């Protein structure tokens, strides 16, 4: 969804938070789990500093509403009263249409907000007073602005909100800076901007199931869940989380129940003292095509922290950092499945520059780990039972100071994998490692004691096309060509068939044969 800076007032959100270097660090090995109602008492401060909003004067724009369906303006006001009048007049099941800017809060229903939704309705922006038929939110933006005086919306029933901007919300002593929903909520093409909550959900707090599509959460702040906090299930499609901050868990967002993400992006979000710079999920997490870029957690899980089982398909983790302990790209505490995904330039001060798995069963197929770094290893398997790594590439353009794989307990089965330019290829301090049909190149040590040499594993140059720019496709003379085994994987990272040519290629990439061009014959 395009940002619409040309239609917005200039807003500066300033939060006096402790710096990363000065933030407290929990010493326990595993993240502490809070359940609903168990979070620290809500206050108007984060890390001892008051929440502050610094606003420039808003441009006076009319707020207009239509709710009867006759496409004629029903209410108009210079502030947000037209919105409130329409919400009061609408019947359950109806749609309230909005145009213009509805700014300012009043106290009603026990709180201060721009609008209070107590009926199951649809609230939709993107209209003009001369066009109540078609919503065009890009060229006809609708803005609900709390001006830092309270929440933007308080929603007590299941509702749908679409095609509008919610900004400058403030919950100085509770949850949900911009939007508080005590039931389920569906948001479509909604931008939630520059809002803050003293407790959870700087942009959105919801006690019911949440469905998000094609939205933006940007510049929001809270103790937990800088962008959003959900107590029930979360379904997210194509939504971006940019520059949100949490003092505790989930800089971009926190989901307490199962979360399913399709597409979307988490970029430059921060957890200042705990886990999940981009996202923290304390139940099952399924990612498909989601990108986690340049997120930071002081403790663990620079990109993602998942306490429940996690499935990753077609995702990207790049430039994420865990500044103190585990999992630059991600940490997961139960079963993990990774397919067709990239981990590039993630770092962890402790263990698992790319990922850290602390329990359960793991399966990693067609994955690329490029230029990840930590004091431990790129892939760190701590208390796992059985992990299979198949058709994966773990590489660096120069000799990396970290190890490629570390195994502490359980069993690792490794096949058809390239390990290149690491201090140690496979480090075993416990458990069992079975490796075969792998390619080793440029490591100081390929295996530590107790790792048997696979009879079909080889040494040789993978001849990546251009490793300096992250192009880790194998070249035409690569030692990885046609020397792998049939591991039941029928496509590569990009969906090309396996095998092509004389056999299975080792690594995440199956090299495409050169194309043959037939000469054009003159008629």
- 345, 319 in Cβ contact below 8 A? yes
Over residues 223-268, the pLDDT tens digits come to 999 999 999 999 999 999 999 999 999 999 999 999 999 999 999 9
- 422, 378 in Cβ contact below 8 A? yes
Over residues 395-417, the pLDDT tens digits come to 999 999 999 999 999 999 999 99
Structure tokens given for 77: 């006001």
* pTM over 0.85, yes/no: yes
Q: What is the DSSP string of 171-208?
A: ETTSS-SSEEESS-EEEEEEEEES-EESSB-SSEEESS
To the nearest whole number, what is the mean pLDDT of the chain?
88
Going by C-alpha positions, the residue among 76, 172, 88, 201 that lies closest to residue 128 is 76
Structure tokens given for 21: 């270097």
- Cross-strand partners of 292: 266, 317
- State how far the alpha carbon of 473 is from the alpha carbons of 78, 392, 468, in Å: 59, 12, 12
Total H helices, total E strands in the chain? 1, 57
- 49, 88 in Cβ contact below 8 A? no
Strands (DSSP E) contained in 120-252 are: 122-127, 143-145, 151-155, 159-167, 170-171, 179-181, 185-193, 196-197, 204-206, 210-213, 216-218, 221-222, 228-230, 234-237, 240-242, 245-246
Over residues 434-474, the pLDDT tens digits come to 999 999 999 999 999 999 999 999 999 999 999 888 899 99
Would you state the pLDDT for residue 518? 45
How far is 328 from 199, CA to CA, in rounded Å? Answer: 26
What's the full length of the chain, in residues?
Answer: 523
Burial of 230-247, coded b for 16+ CB within 10 Å and e otherwise, reads bbbbbbbbbbbbbbbbbb
Find where tokens 């304390």 sit. 282
């Amino acid at each position: 969804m395009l940002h619409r800076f040309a239609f917005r007032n200039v807003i500066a959100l300033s939060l006096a938070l402790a710096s990363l270097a000065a933030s407290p660090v929990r010493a326990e090995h595993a993240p502490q789990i809070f359940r609903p109602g168990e979070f620290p008492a809500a206050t108007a401060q984060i890390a001892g500093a008051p929440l502050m909003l610094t606003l420039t004067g808003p441009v006076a724009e009319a707020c207009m509403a239509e709710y009867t369906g006759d496409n004629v303006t029903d209410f108009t006001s210079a502030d947000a009263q037209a919105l409130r009048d329409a919400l009061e007049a609408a019947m359950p099941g109806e749609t309230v249409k909005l145009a213009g800017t509805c700014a300012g809060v009043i106290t009603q229903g026990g709180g201060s907000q721009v609008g209070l939704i107590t009926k199951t309705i649809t609230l939709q922006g993107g209209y003009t007073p001369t066009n109540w038929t078609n919503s065009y939110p890009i060229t006809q933006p609708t803005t609900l602005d709390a001006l830092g005086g309270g929440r933007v919306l308080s929603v007590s029933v299941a509702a749908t909100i679409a095609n509008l901007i919610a900004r400058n919300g403030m919950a100085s002593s509770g949850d949900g800076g911009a939007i508080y929903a005590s039931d389920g909520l569906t948001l479509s093409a909604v931008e939630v901007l520059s809002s803050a909550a003293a407790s959870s959900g700087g942009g959105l707090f919801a006690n019911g199931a949440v469905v998000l599509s094609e939205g933006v959460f940007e510049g929001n702040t809270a103790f937990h869940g800088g962008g959003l906090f959900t107590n029930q299930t979360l379904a997210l499609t194509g939504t971006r989380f940019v520059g949100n901050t949490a003092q505790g868990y989930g800089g971009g967002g926190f989901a307490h129940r199962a979360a399913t993400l399709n597409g979307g992006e988490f970029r430059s979000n921060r957890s200042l003292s705990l886990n999940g710079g981009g996202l923290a999920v304390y139940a099952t997490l399924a990612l498909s095509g989601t990108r986690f870029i340049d997120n930071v957690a002081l403790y663990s899980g620079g990109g993602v922290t998942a306490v429940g089982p996690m499935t990753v398909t077609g995702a990207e983790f790049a430039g994420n950092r865990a500044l103190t302990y585990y999992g630059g790209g991600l940490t997961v505490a139960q079963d993990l499945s990774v397919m067709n995904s990239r981990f590039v330039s993630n770092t962890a001060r402790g263990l698992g520059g790319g990922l850290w798995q602390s329990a359960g069963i793991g399966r990693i197929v067609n994955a690329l780990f490029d230029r990840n770094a930590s004091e431990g290893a790129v892939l760190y398997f701590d208390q796992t039972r059985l992990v299979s790594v198949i058709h994966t590439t773990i590489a660096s353009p120069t000799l990396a100071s970290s190890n490629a794989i570390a195994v502490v307990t359980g069993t690792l089965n490794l096949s058809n994998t390239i390990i290149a330019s690491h201090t140690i290829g496979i480090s075993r301090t416990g458990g069992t490692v079975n490796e075969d049909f792998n390619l080793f190149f440029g490591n100081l040590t390929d295996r530590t004691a107790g790792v048997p040499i696979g009879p079909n594993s080889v040494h040789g140059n993978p001849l990546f096309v251009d490793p300096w720019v992250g192009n880790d496709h194998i070249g035409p003379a690569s030692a990885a060509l046609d020397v792998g085994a049939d591991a039941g994987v029928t496509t590569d990272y990009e969906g090309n068939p396996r095998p092509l040519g004389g056999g299975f290629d080792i690594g995440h990439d199956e090299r495409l044969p050169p194309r043959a061009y037939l000469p054009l014959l003159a008629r």
